[in-house]
Amino acid sequence: MQVTREQYRSLVSAALRSPPRHGRSPLVLYMVDMLDLPDSVLPDLPELVSAGSNILVVGNKVDLLPGDSPDYLKRFRKLLLKSCARLGILPAAKGIGDQADRTGRHNLVDVHLISAKTGYGVEELISKLQRSWKCNGDVYLIGTTNSGKSTLFNTLLQSDYCKSKAPEVINRATISPWPGTTLNLLKFPIINPTPDRLFRRQERLKADAEKTEEQLSGDEQKYLKCLKKQGYLIGRVGRTFQQQKSKGIIHFDPDELSFNMEEEPVIPSKKPKERVEFTYNELKDARWFFDTPGIVKENCVLNLLSEKEVKIVLPTHAIVPRTFVLKPGMVLFLGALGRIDYLQGAKSSWFSVVASNLLPVHVTTLEKADGIYQKHAGDTLLKVPTGGEERMREFPPLTAQDITLEGIGIFEAVADIKLSSAGWVAITAHLEDKLQLRAYTPEGTALMIRKPPLLPHIVAIKGKRIKGSVAYRTKKPSPLVENIKSNKPMEKKVPKM
Ligand SMILES: Nc1nc2c(ncn2[C@@H]2O[C@H](COP(=O)(O)OP(=O)(O)OP(=O)(O)O)[C@@H](O)[C@H]2O)c(=O)[nH]1
Ligand SMILES: [Mg+2]
């Protein structure tokens, strides 16, 4: 569901500002796309959310970015905190379980890095939510379009965070919105994390972490293999309380009885009925987890693209950085959506492209660049936009911004030039080399200089220089899997956050 900015505002702020149910304001799970930082941090968030609300920030899609140093996730966290602080979303003096801050400012209770798609960091997020927020109130997942909210909703639906019957009931709810919600938001009931459940969950996590890949079921092994091809960081999300249907194993959950004395006990049967329903009593005191429609970002290049083009531009697989060494007088195109001219500098500099692997990079000279754009924007060489001359007639022209940078050495990028949401180019230059650059994006889309860069050591992730070319061979770092015992040394170490 896509809604306008105004519709979104009224929908979400109505929910977030309504009188608290159960005497508590909801927890806001605020999702930020790490590939689009800081544009994915909504400038109007503080107005949407009631003053004093608890906000837990989730930086998503970390699986797509290659680690450029052992502490890169720590750096991501810091940058995410900084972007939030700029909007006045500041770390809470108190913890997540405490009532809202009386001073009325927003309580940023924590920052988590996850991959909603591969499950990385999700078990840890659930543990945090269950230990701190418990079942104190509803939880709203909000953020920009494409940040991955629905993907996280679906991952949590297969986890220990929802009531054990929820996945079966919600499968139908995804087709028609959950009945009984006034906002038509998709939701599932949150499980009550009683001490017994927390204990059993910990035992399950410990047991899971002791398993090697070979000990997983055939299906799980296949799934993991597939994820390893797609992302750099992978996590397994399991379930402790699911109602087993097969093999006659019955996991009886005594806490199904203890949440509410009036609640009907759920006695799992070997032959579950076709239609699984929650009873009135099971839901009457339930706290809910809501997915919300995403807010459309202003000045975003994706707003100009067709669905087919968006599929090329939005990375779905682990990004393999592409580095080029450019002399002054050279030009780099990122599809026909971005262009960077290296106008002046004393020496060659390195341009590392972080963008969808499907979006082509073309390097040329200043003399040829205009001609190439005229001739090839809209066709296969630059790939996006598609549709040839006819499409380009209505597509906004590229507009330029002059940039001055000073190199800080050949091992560290000085800045990222972020070409709206199409990706960015990290610039690494010799110490004190003064660079004159001109960067272009389609008119009306955001071009920004990100300083410090998100991946300052990215220039190190490259293969050998290709003979007679300005390009280096690409190098794909190995994936890391958390919550699994591995024989291979590369998978043993999950980066510390
Ligand atoms: N690699 C990767 N892709 C992700 C991740 N999360 C979401 N995606 C992809 O990003 C795209 C958007 O995901 P959604 O879950 O639909 O995003 P959303 O926030 O619900 O978007 P709206 O409903 O439009 O607001 C999909 O193609 C997902 O597969 C992630 O953690 N890693
Ligand atoms: Mg969605």
- Residue ranges per structural domain of the chain: 5-291, 319-475
pLDDT of residue 282: 78
* Out of 208-217, 338-347, 453-462, least confident range: 208-217
Q: Ligand 1 centre from 165 Cα, in Å? A: 25
* Out of 134-143, 159-168, 401-410, 481-490, least confident range: 481-490
* Cα–Cα dist 124/132, whole Å: 12
How is residue 65 written in tokens?
């970015």
Q: Ligand 2 centre from 380 Cα, in Å? A: 31
Stronger pLDDT, 263 or 18, i.e. the higher one: 18
Decide yes or no: CATH 3.40.50.300 for domain 5-291: yes
Stronger pLDDT, 13 or 54, i.e. the higher one: 54
Average pLDDT on 234-260 reads 60
pLDDT of residue 275: 67
Question: Could you report the per-residue pLDDT of 32-47, keeping only the tens digit for each?
Answer: 999 999 988 888 787 7
At CA 494, angle to CA 117 and CA 199, rounded to 5? 80
User: Residue 191: pLDDT above 70?
Assistant: yes
- Note the ligand closest to the C-alpha atom of 421: 1
Q: Ligand 2 centre from 294 Cα, in Å? A: 6
- Note the ligand closest to the C-alpha atom of 31: 1
Q: How many residues make up the chain in this entry? A: 497
Backbone angles phi, psi at 352, to 5 degrees: -105, 120
Residue 171 CB contacts under 8 Å (≥ 6 apart), including other chains: none
- Which atom of ligand 1 is closest in space to residue 294's alpha carbon? 25
- Which atom of ligand 1 is closest in space to residue 64's alpha carbon? 1
Average pLDDT on 102-127 reads 87
- According to the per-residue pLDDT averaged within each range, which of 5-19, 180-194, 248-262, 454-468 is highest? 454-468
Question: Could you report the per-residue pLDDT of 414-457, keeping only the tens digit for each?
Answer: 999 999 999 999 999 999 999 999 999 999 999 999 999 999 99
Kindly report the average pLDDT of the chain as a whole number. 85
For residue 184, name the pLDDT band (cuts at 50, 70, 90): low
Q: Ligand 1 centre from 345 Cα, in Å? A: 40
Question: Could you report the per-residue pLDDT of 479-489, keeping only the tens digit for each?
Answer: 999 988 876 65
* Cα–Cα dist 134/287, whole Å: 10
- Which atom of ligand 1 is closest in space to residue 143's alpha carbon? 19
Residue among 29, 58, 117, 289 whose CB has most ligand 1 atoms within 8 A, to mutate: 117
Average pLDDT on 315-325 reads 97
pLDDT of residue 454: 98
Distances (CA, A) of 42 to 36, 83, 157, 293: 11, 10, 26, 14
User: Residue 292: pLDDT above 70?
Assistant: yes
Q: Ligand 1 centre from 38 Cα, in Å? A: 17
User: Residue 491: pLDDT above 60?
Assistant: no
Stronger pLDDT, 255 or 488, i.e. the higher one: 488
pLDDT of residue 94: 57
Q: Which residues line ligand 1 (CB under 6 A)?
A: 60-61, 63-64, 115-117, 143, 145-151, 231, 293-294
For 70-93, letters b (16+ CB in 10 Å) and e give eebbebbbebbbebbeebebeebe
How is residue 409 written in tokens?
């050495």
User: Residue 1: pLDDT above 70?
Assistant: no
Q: Ligand 2 centre from 188 Cα, in Å? A: 14
pLDDT of residue 266: 42
User: Residue 203: pLDDT above 90?
Assistant: yes
- Note the ligand closest to the C-alpha atom of 313: 1
How buried is residue 118: exposed, middle or buried, by Cβ count under 10 Å (0-12/13-18/19+)? buried
* Cα–Cα dist 374/350, whole Å: 26
pLDDT of residue 222: 93
The residue whose CA has the least distance to atom 32 of ligand 1 is: 61
- Which atom of ligand 1 is closest in space to residue 145's alpha carbon? 25
pLDDT of residue 489: 53
For residue 492, name the pLDDT band (cuts at 50, 70, 90): very low
The residue whose CA has the least distance to atom 21 of ligand 1 is: 146
User: Residue 130: pLDDT above 80?
Assistant: yes
**At residue 303, what is the residue type?**
N
* Cα–Cα dist 161/260, whole Å: 18
Average pLDDT on 209-218 reads 91
Please state, as a whole number, how many other Cβ atoms lie within 10 Å of the Cβ of residue 20. Answer: 14
| Nearest CA-CA partner of 490 in 214, 233, 159, 220 | 233
- Which atom of ligand 1 is closest in space to residue 154's alpha carbon? 15
* Out of 258-272, 346-360, 428-442, least confident range: 258-272
* Cα–Cα dist 497/489, whole Å: 19
Rounded to 10 deg, the angle between the 166-173 and 149-157 helix axes is 140
User: Residue 329: pLDDT above 60?
Assistant: yes
Are 94 and 101 contacting, i.e. CB atoms less than 8 angstroms apart? yes
User: Residue 146: pLDDT above 90?
Assistant: no
Question: Could you report the per-residue pLDDT of 374-396, keeping only the tens digit for each?
Answer: 999 999 999 999 999 999 999 99
The residue whose CA has the least distance to atom 11 of ligand 1 is: 146
* Out of 93-97, 216-220, 266-270, least confident range: 266-270
Q: Ligand 1 centre from 122 Cα, in Å? A: 15
pLDDT of residue 256: 47
pLDDT of residue 116: 95
* Cα–Cα dist 497/58, whole Å: 13
Average pLDDT on 201-219 reads 93
Q: Ligand 1 centre from 230 Cα, in Å? A: 14
Residue among 125, 150, 319 whose CB has most ligand 1 atoms within 8 A, to mutate: 150
User: Residue 497: pLDDT above 70?
Assistant: no
